[in-house]
Amino acid sequence: MQLLKDRILKEGKVLPGNIIKVDGFLNHRVDIALMKEIAREFRRLFKADGLTAILTVEASGIALAAVCAEEFGLPLLFAKKAKSDNIEGGLYRSDIYSYTYKKQVTLILSKQWLTEKDRVLIIDDFLANGEALRGLIEIIKQAGAKLEGIGIAIEKGFQPGGERIRRMGYDLKSLAIIDEANDNGIKFREETR
């Protein structure tokens, strides 16, 4: 998606450790107009027929997933990283390693909101090592639901997550795949789908 790539080149920064900082428009300060364009692109790429929910993980994926849920006319579910007192009943759980926080976290989702009748589209802002996606996929399997596809705004193609998820046979579509990010700048993969 050229609009997203242009924005990354214009405003994105590469920090030590190949961290790509796009918090000025994607996941801290959010450009809703850009989110709407991304949502329209995902709507074009993924068929809504039969879908019952959009799923993401807290926290930075929620803004994009919420706009996508509106575009698809579906409810948004998000896996939490900590149990709160207002969650009742049984929980699906998946332990993942958070590279952002450099620790193990447990993703949780109430069994009330995801069942074997659901057909789910995962939406997230970033894909690097794929741990968050692995955890969401595990939760979907625990529920007996069906994963229909995965939409990612920005994929770090130089990290193993995307390749790992594709090898598992899932329909993964990333709008901007970055193959190189360093002091020389950011280089995108020619074909993003």
48/33 Cα distance (integer angstroms): 21
Please, are residues 51 and 42 in contact by the beta-carbon 8 Å criterion?
no
Question: How do residues 29-57 score in pLDDT, each as one tens digit?
Answer: 999 999 999 999 999 999 889 999 999 99
pTM (2 d.p.): 0.93
SS3 of 75, please?
Answer: coil
Question: How do residues 132-146 score in pLDDT, each as one tens digit?
Answer: 999 999 999 999 999
* Domains within the chain, CATH numbers bracketed: 2-188 (3.40.50.2020)
Parallel, antiparallel or unpaired: strands 185-188 and 172-182: antiparallel
Residues in the chain, pLDDT under 50: 192-193
Total residues found in the chain within this entry: 193
